[in-house]
Amino acid sequence: MTADLSRASLEQGEVLVVERLGGGLLEMVARLPHLAATATPGSFAQLRCGTGTTPLLRRPFSVAWTHDDTCGFVFEAVGAGTRLLSELQPGDPLDSLGPLGHGFTMVNSGSVVCVSGGLGCAPFPLLINELRRRRVEDILVLNGARTAARLYPAERFARPAVPVVAEATDDGTRGHHGSVIDLLVQALGSQPSALYACGPNPMLNAVMRTLLDSGATLPPVLEASLEAPMGCGFGTCLGCALPVLGDGGASVWKLCCTDGPVMSMRDVDWAGVSALPGADVA
Amino acid sequence: MTADLSRASLEQGEVLVVERLGGGLLEMVARLPHLAATATPGSFAQLRCGTGTTPLLRRPFSVAWTHDDTCGFVFEAVGAGTRLLSELQPGDPLDSLGPLGHGFTMVNSGSVVCVSGGLGCAPFPLLINELRRRRVEDILVLNGARTAARLYPAERFARPAVPVVAEATDDGTRGHHGSVIDLLVQALGSQPSALYACGPNPMLNAVMRTLLDSGATLPPVLEASLEAPMGCGFGTCLGCALPVLGDGGASVWKLCCTDGPVMSMRDVDWAGVSALPGADVA
Amino acid sequence: MNERLTGSVDLGRGLVLPNVVGLASGTAGYGFELAQLIDLDRLGALYTKGTTILAREGNPPPRIAETGGGLLNSIGLQNPGVDFVATDYAPRWKDWTIRVIVNIAGGSAEDYVHCVKVLEPIAEVSGIELNISCPNIAHGLDFGRDPEAAARLVAAVRAVTERCVIVKLSPNVTDIVAIARAVEDAGADVVSAVNTYVGRKVHRASGRSVLPFGTGGLSGPAIQPLALAAVASLCEALRIPVIGVGGIVDAASAQDFLTVGATAVQVGTATFVNPETALDVLEGLTKVTA
Amino acid sequence: MNERLTGSVDLGRGLVLPNVVGLASGTAGYGFELAQLIDLDRLGALYTKGTTILAREGNPPPRIAETGGGLLNSIGLQNPGVDFVATDYAPRWKDWTIRVIVNIAGGSAEDYVHCVKVLEPIAEVSGIELNISCPNIAHGLDFGRDPEAAARLVAAVRAVTERCVIVKLSPNVTDIVAIARAVEDAGADVVSAVNTYVGRKVHRASGRSVLPFGTGGLSGPAIQPLALAAVASLCEALRIPVIGVGGIVDAASAQDFLTVGATAVQVGTATFVNPETALDVLEGLTKVTA
Ligand SMILES: Cc1cc2nc3c(=O)[nH]c(=O)nc-3n(C[C@H](O)[C@H](O)[C@H](O)COP(=O)(O)OP(=O)(O)OC[C@H]3O[C@@H](n4cnc5c(N)ncnc54)[C@H](O)[C@@H]3O)c2cc1C
Ligand SMILES: Cc1cc2nc3c(=O)[nH]c(=O)nc-3n(C[C@H](O)[C@H](O)[C@H](O)COP(=O)(O)OP(=O)(O)OC[C@H]3O[C@@H](n4cnc5c(N)ncnc54)[C@H](O)[C@@H]3O)c2cc1C
Ligand SMILES: Cc1cc2nc3c(=O)[nH]c(=O)nc-3n(C[C@H](O)[C@H](O)[C@H](O)COP(=O)(O)O)c2cc1C
Ligand SMILES: Cc1cc2nc3c(=O)[nH]c(=O)nc-3n(C[C@H](O)[C@H](O)[C@H](O)COP(=O)(O)O)c2cc1C
Ligand code: FES
Ligand code: FES
């Protein structure tokens, strides 16, 4: 089945702001009218990093939020490509291909839990904004990070009204001393109609295990945004395969860029995903 | 015979100014104390262009002049490396290896003619300054370029006192309408003790032919600064070979970076040099 | 305007490409994604993803890794199988003017012959490209590394098709000209070169290889000078046309292949970076030669 | 601190390198230029410029051309000849602690044998590296592409020297392991890989090749993933030590070779960009493993 790329388009945008949030987190605002007009929750853009041939490939980034003709991206400089992005100045051009990817399934009622680990915060502002538009008000964000400085600021998860954000830090410098996972079980009490998760693979894996172990009935919508190195971002190179459960539980491959990045956590082969090597940043 | 590299050193300098002279010519001033203290007329530095692996190699540039702990370079953006240099901002680091190369032979009396074509102007300010220090005052600069905007400004060939500069432009927009070569024969009348030339190979070739055809006795010191693509700049890669006349007139190779870049015009195999492909700028 | 560069190209047996610029196998799928992003019909040819007798799931992830100016891949020929291509994909190419050339891979001559037979009656298929050089499946390189085996394969395929047969050569050999001469004598109409170079990347955090089977195929600008050397040697030695592929990122790097004698070019990895690269190459060549 | 990475390395037959980092042949001359720029004695080994039975003027210019992340060279083995090296250069190595290994090239087995004999009595020579893979002289690749020829060459050299014999392999072959096994069986003590890859650059202004004989040897970061694949396959297949070379620019890219099993490394082209690269690599490896 061919992916629907009808909204995707190349776009030469302009960097407006690159804000340092602390802890290495950056929030970049760029004028990208097409992307801003067409991105949906969970969409990503393939951003060109630099103009040379090293790094060669574009890099995928979630559309964190849109406002008029601008888009926000939240990232950190982990390797060559993100380092180049972090050095961009206002007025610099930004080459985007997007929106791409299969996004989050929307709900129109009930309570929603968003589980964010580290830079997994990125897709949530756009998601929460859309949920609010659909009159879903009972939204709880569980936001975890290594340390306080790396917690995406609560007030940025949704504007103007800040949602309820429960924070956790590995080093206890803010909120719960430990992992977001610890906050999860309690959150399930509200019998959420949807749980959305984004973060490092080990965290996503832990979320799924915790849900199953808790014995609680799984939320009808249970989705995670996953990552894979991407060659093209539009379903052509077949390079971004991720293991999902096929018929009879055998592991088959689905494409992160078009079948995902958002996938039903029920379908993902978590053992397979956990076995993948972490991104080897250079 | 091993080249003397005792003065050459790696140095992390700092860009102070990148001045646009017009016509695409740029003059860059950088704080490079070691290079400033040790460069001699005809010396060059291997400058790193950018920090990545494309362009991979350093690029050679004549030390145009030195002042206290700063050095001047005159260049234009012709390809990937020089483009990166042209984008440098004051305060940016500049990675230099130098001084390198065999420079001009000095004279202490008589009159001197300097023949400059286009960016061939680069080595002359340092040369003229040294000649002046040696009380050589009768210095004539023949400066040619495609068009007026590309003529290196006369007052920059020597400070404070401007030398006599006769200008020629291919399009006649300033000075003699034609080539510097046309001005050469007349200049030879002064029986110069030295003639120094720097510019594109075809021009250098024409200078030599004109001298020979003129029947005038050749100046005792008759030298040109030549160019070749350089791998290392310090005599190790053997990549910068240039054809010179060996015993019996057969063509042998000498290294531009250590036997040159300044060579006696009597020794160069001008037919061989003229046959070389021009730099293929990308 | 120089017809050679931007006019149509006759590769023989009725295969005439509208222009010299094509999309390399495995970097354009079967065309359906790119058709949504660019105007495919302005290009000369689309070489499909390597297609096999049976559907293949492909290799486990990670399947790609980036290197300086290059891309390592170990896709493992994920494809829906030749029957599905013939029945479900081909009809969707019906109204396309871009020539669709199906790239075929297999483990035995019988596999290739079967695939070619299946495609023979399909009008939407304009030609066949035999991938005898895929480094990412077991035995994937045997045909590409042995002149006799390559010749036998081509002869077998030649016997069952009237279509233009392009043989995609591997650069991972001592003497690519020897392989090419063998397939030329066996009846190949065209050769395309090069496929990817065997490369490896170490996952520095773990010390293991990034790719599941250790090595993968290197493509992208890093290999352009190597591909250019291979293509130049083929153009000197062969009578049949040579299609140049490897590291093309713009009109100038494509022009290099035409300069050394290639009849047409394919743009691969660069399409991932910018889906419009092949169109830019075509436009650039038109300018260059205007 | 991990001795394997930064301690001394015993390559056999009395050749013990102070550490794993060496300067690759042809990128350090005979050491006399670099000795003025860096502290050579902190490094493990210097592999000299390829040395031949008679002095060679080398190829006509242009001899080098840059490519994306790479350098093409066609130096043509310019060198003063083995006798001059023995009489004039070797004495100047007397007080060096860096091991000087003379890289030898030739057109016939006799050439190599003669050179090795000339060097045998010279105390300052620590070992021999046989370059059977120079792409820039006529027949330069024959030995490197044919297992039998390579084995005969190594056996002939083995018969006349007690020194550690390192065989420098060409990557421009179908099966580098087959060549390596042949030289291992013929008595090679060590193999080093890789030499440069055959590449070409077009001079776009003229449409001719930049380099005088069309092609040259590609080196630099562009080839690192290819060299790494070759070295990994050698480390898996051989009993003798493998020295990794190709595209090393820093400690991490050097570590990759050690990770796949190389016993030591050589830094080549990167020394041109920064003469201190090999020292930085050594320091980096020390840190990595501290
Ligand atoms: C759908 C999607 C959305 C993403 N959204 C965001 C976001 O909003 N904010 C953010 O900070 N990061 C996000 N990432 C991760 C981001 O793409 C990587 O951090 C980035 O590619 C690293 O590039 P680099 O050159 O800096 O690192 P390098 O390690 O130098 O890149 C080397 C190679 O590894 C690949 N790679 C490295 N890390 C990752 C990774 N985690 N996921 C996929 N490929 C990787 C790169 O594509 C490249 O090919 C997203 C990833 C995906 C797949
Ligand atoms: C001793 C010496 C002194 C020089 N002094 C000056 C100077 O003061 N001002 C100035 O503007 N230029 C000078 N040049 C020329 C300058 O080095 C080239 O313009 C520069 O290398 C071009 O690099 P690029 O990346 O911009 O061009 P590219 O063409 O992209 O470089 C591609 C390759 O060609 C080589 N190359 C290209 N043009 C030349 C050239 N003319 N000479 C040698 N190699 C070349 C480069 O080194 C590189 O390897 C000098 C050259 C030499 C040898
Ligand atoms: C992700 C990917 C998949 C590929 N799949 C195939 C394939 O199925 N069949 C084939 O003949 N070549 C395949 N190739 C090789 C390309 O067609 C091309 O020969 C090679 O990538 C060199 O060109 P480039 O540098 O422009 O990418 C693939 C290349 C890439 C990058
Ligand atoms: C300019 C130059 C000259 C070389 N000369 C030789 C040589 O004489 N003998 C040899 O065995 N290898 C020679 N090589 C190959 C290098 O030793 C090394 O194998 C190759 O460059 C790959 O390493 P690198 O990428 O680190 O440069 C030469 C390489 C370069 C760039
Ligand atoms: S990134 Fe190319 S198919 Fe997903
Ligand atoms: S540039 Fe390397 S020897 Fe001259």
pLDDT digits (tens, 9 = 90+) for C261-287: 999 999 999 999 999 999 999 999 988
Which of C30, C51, C269, C274 to probe ligand 3 with, by most ligand atoms within 8 A of CB?
A: C269
Helix (H, G, I), strand (E, B) or coil at A138: coil
Our answer on whether the CB atom of D52 is closer than 6 Å to any ligand 4 atom is no
Closest residue (by CA) to atom 28 of ligand 4?
A: D26
> How many Å lie between the centroid of ligand 1 and the Cα of residue A50?
15
Residue that the structure tokens 């003639």 belong to: B195
pLDDT, mean of residues B52-75: 97
Strand blocks (E) in B118-250: 139-145, 164-169, 176-177, 194-198, 221-225, 241-245
One-letter amino acid identity for D90?
A
Residue D69 forms contact with A (CB below 8 Å): yes
Q: pLDDT tens digit string along D32-74? A: 999 999 999 999 999 999 999 999 999 999 999 999 999 999 9
Q: At what angle do helices C147-158 and C176-185 cross, to 10 degrees?
A: 30
Residue D279 forms contact with B (CB below 8 Å): no
Q: Residue B267 carries which DSSP code?
A: T
Residue D141 has which token pair? Answer: 């690749």
- Best residue in D32, D63, D92, D136 to probe B by mutation, most B CBs within 10 Å? D63
Q: pLDDT tens digit string along B125-150? A: 999 999 999 999 999 999 999 999 99
pLDDT, mean of residues D176-205: 97
One-letter amino acid identity for D174?
T
* pTM metric for this prediction: 0.96
Beta-carbon separation of D256 and C199 below 8 A? no
Which of C52, C136, C194, C196 to probe ligand 3 with, by most ligand atoms within 8 A of CB?
A: C196
Residue C4 reports pLDDT greater than 80: no
Helix (H, G, I), strand (E, B) or coil at C11: strand
What average pLDDT does the structure give for chain C? 94
Question: Strand pairing of C165-168 and B25-31?
Answer: unpaired
CA angle D80, D81, D87 (to 5 degrees): 90
Residue D4 reports pLDDT greater than 70: no
- Residue D290 is predicted with a pLDDT of 46
Of C225, C69, D212, nearest to A54 (Cα)? C69
pLDDT tens, position by position, for chain A (282 residues)? 689 999 999 999 999 999 999 899 999 999 999 999 999 999 999 999 999 999 999 999 999 999 999 999 999 999 999 999 999 999 999 999 999 999 999 999 999 999 999 999 999 999 999 999 999 999 999 999 999 999 999 999 988 788 899 999 999 999 999 999 999 988 988 899 999 999 999 999 999 999 999 988 999 999 999 999 999 999 999 999 999 998 887 889 999 999 999 999 999 999 999 999 876 655
Confidence of residue C134 (pLDDT cuts 50, 70, 90): low
Helix (H, G, I), strand (E, B) or coil at C279: helix
Shortest distance, CA D236 to any CA of chain B (angstroms):
30
Q: At what angle do helices B180-188 and B201-214 cross, to 10 degrees?
A: 30
- Residue D175 is predicted with a pLDDT of 95
Residue with the larger pLDDT of the pair C167 and B186: C167
Task: Write a three-state SS string for A213-257.
Answer: HHCCCCCCEEEEECCCCCCCCCCCCCCCEEEEECHHHCEEEEECC
Confidence of residue C46 (pLDDT cuts 50, 70, 90): very high
- Residue C177 is predicted with a pLDDT of 97
Residue with the larger pLDDT of the pair D244 and A278: D244
Our answer on whether the CB atom of B216 is closer than 6 Å to any ligand 2 atom is no
Helix (H, G, I), strand (E, B) or coil at C8: coil
Rounded to a whole number of angstroms, the distance between the first and last alpha carbons of chain B is 35
Q: Residue C56 carries which DSSP code?
A: B
Residue C257 has which token pair? Answer: 């292949």
Q: Are B141 and B111 in contact, with CB atoms under 8 Å apart?
A: no
Confidence of residue D141 (pLDDT cuts 50, 70, 90): low
Confidence of residue C1 (pLDDT cuts 50, 70, 90): very low
